[in-house]
Structure 1
Amino acid sequence: MALEMRTSCERCEKHLEMDQAAFICSYECTFCPTCTNEMEGICPNCGGELVSRPKRIKTIR
């Protein structure tokens, strides 16, 4: 099962490229590094830990 790679921060709506730093919880809520830091690494939706989202390299198909 692949992660849903969301393209914007759920808090500030900043656009996030697939190869940019972003943070997710186990429910795939997605936040930019600035918001993650301000929320002390805790998801406001589920209370879970926010961890670094893997970067996806753009591929040609």
Structure 2
Amino acid sequence: MLELRPSCEACGKALPPDSSDAMICSFECTFCKACATATLRNVCPNCGGGFEHRPVRPRAMLAKYPASAERRDASVDHASHAHYLQQYAAKPPSQR
């Protein structure tokens, strides 16, 4: 089950469970759409994967399966990410 992390791991922006702005990779690294597309260029700085919109959990299920309240540090190692960009930016996520 998805954690539904509460904030962007790059800029710290709040991403509540019903946010249409949340993007995740296959490991659930969570970023806002602006960071995922413009800053990170669809390359996760933690795993090198691509991003997809995070699904919204129905309200009725949030009570039974609440979103995570644990915030991740809002920091990206830009040197490491530059390496990922060099390696993966030209390849679609399915071929990385």
Q: Which interval holds the TM-score relative to the shorter structure?
A: 0.7 to 0.9
Going by fraction, where is helix more abundant, 1 or 2? 2
* Letter of the structure 1 residue corresponding to residue 11 of structure 2: C
* Structure 1 spans left out of the alignment, 5+ residues: none
Is 2:52 aligned against 1:51?
yes
Whether the 8 Å CA contact 1:18–1:57 is kept in 2: the answer is no
Report deviation, 1:30: 0.1
* Cross-structure match for 2:78: none
* Cross-structure match for 2:23: 23
Alignment deviations for residues 30-60 of structure 1 (CA, whole Å, 9 cap, x no partner): 0001101121111011000111100123235
**TM-score normalised by the chain length of structure 2:** 0.57
Q: Distance in 2 between matches of 1:40 and 1:24?
A: 13
* Structure 2 spans left out of the alignment, 5+ residues: 65-96
User: Which is greater in Rg?
Assistant: 2
Q: Distance in 1 between matches of 2:15 and 2:59?
A: 14
| Identical-residue share of aligned pairs (%) | 48
Three-state SS of the structure 1 residue aligned to 2:17 is coil
- Give the count of matched residue pairs: 60
Q: Distance in 1 between matches of 2:53 and 2:4?
A: 12
Q: Distance in 2 between matches of 1:16 and 1:6?
A: 7
Whether the 8 Å CA contact 1:20–1:55 is kept in 2: the answer is yes
